[in-house]
Structure 1
Amino acid sequence: MLYSKTTPAEKRRLFRERLSSGELLRFPGAFNPLSARLIERKGFDGVYISGAVLSADLGLPDIGLTTLTEVAGRAQQIARMTELPAIVDADTGFGEPMNVARTIQTLEDAGLAGAHIEDQINPKRCGHLDGKTVVDEDTAIKRIRAAADARRDPDFLIMARTDIRATADGRAGLDLAVDRAKALVDAGADAIFPEAMRTLEEFEAMRKALDVPILANMTEFGKSELFSSQQLADIGVNIVIWPVSMLRIAMGATGRALDALNEEGHLTSKLGEMQHRADLYDLIDYEDYNRFDTSVFNFTVER
């Protein structure tokens, strides 16, 4: 009932413990607190909170328009509704290194298990679009160093995302990404998010080059081929995310339902696609709230 029974500190500790095991952890993207509960119910390992989803939720493109306050507030609402650890996309850290430091402490306070900071210029753009520009290595290092120095809970995961692969073709782009990732690990990153890897071999090359966990982004309609969890586990990837998938599926279903309303005047044909009322009530612990309410408001009115 209400929020997670597991404290943020315990979530972080357990997450770090599992991450150190070397197994692949699956983190679907939650687009709201209720979807985070469903991700937990379906047996996944964690919840990912995408910056693209947070901006889309506000009707905005993913070009750095959201603020730290908006991201931290929504991420807290999502993270506190599940016993699972939640990782949030913190874009470029919302400013200069001092802002990055504040971002990390704000996200710690919001109950997140970790966050990633990227090396794009500010304002950033979606990682799977063309025309991205990254900052110089010194600036990227300062962001990660500020993040690592600012955290108070050593179990809070500082992940560095590098978008440099898309700045050059072929092997040159991969080599640049590996070199940047190594520099970010030296600056204090606990894990690396190599964005827009194009092949399984590129993920494998990144895995072999680094001594820290790596994350694979399996977003649809992007630069990366959509590999299975087993394929990624076989090459030693530690975390896989599907950042926008659940939102895309939900919006696709909503669009089809609206079409049905226009064409048929009712949603009878869509009942089989809907979450049943009983399933919704079960997911939100309706009975527990009802029992609690009854135990408190148990008086009778004398007549």
Structure 2
Amino acid sequence: MEINISVSAPVVSVKPVVLSAPGRGEDLQVRVSAPAVGSELPIIVFSHGFGWSLDGYGPLADYWAAHGFVVIQPTHLDSRTLNLAPEDPRTPRIWRFRVEDLKRILDQLDLIEASVPGLSGRLDRSRIAAAGHSWGGQTVSMLLGARVLDNNGEPGEDMSDSRIKAGVLLATTGKGGADLSPFAAEHFPFMNPSFAEMSTPTLVVAGDHDQSRLSTRGPDWFTDPYFLSPGRKSLLTLFGAEHSLGGISGYSVAETTDESPERVGLIQRLTLAYLRNALDLEDSSWPAARAALEESVIPLGRIESK
């Protein structure tokens, strides 16, 4: 499938940029990747999946940065690099710390900008997107308007952020309640979202072979953020994809069960086209990308929108 994409630029990547985080127990470390040239650069804040860190997801971060975005990746408290003990008092609240990590990045863009040589004055703060994979997807969904339901089924705190103009949710878990496995219900009570208020424009990416031990349902569980939310949404369903979506979390990752460079390449191109459209950078690449996917002789997936 051919999708016309702008020529890639050299990328500058700086890590760690350290942000003060009182009450978190650890300062927040982030990685910043940016094109070496260009101005008025839009921003993507990326939330990693469970156990990962600012060093993960190179196939996405590198690609987005090479095509005009400043990509900011935090290391959340669940990262294996921090080795937080299960009995740590912060553990039950990690899902909240994750959301706060992303908000802290938005609050400290001045420091982040000043910490990367040559980046000063080049950010477009009116065009900010958030993206996340797996648990990172749930984290990002909170900024887009999703809420966690309490034990009575009532929506909890609104943690949405109007600075986020668009989202990309990659292999993001669906409804909780009866749809959770007994293991997930016991260990992850926060995994009980309501998408009823998630109105920010979003691309949901799901694999049709993504079978999770966290749910009693099949791969359709990962499409809930699309079907159960209002507003402008698109759903990219990837044929044959499992939870790693072909290997987006790294270039050589042992936990990838469905390795497919072609699938990763498709995600790179389609997410870029979607974000450029959703952030009003241009309006032609996303319709062209959709048409190219539909016209593929052997399509790797399908797109639907509402």
TM-score with structure 1 length normalisation? 0.38
Q: Which has the higher contact order (CA 8 A, sep 6+)?
A: 1
The structure with the larger Rg is: 1
TM-score with structure 2 length normalisation? 0.38
Which has the larger helix fraction? Answer: 1
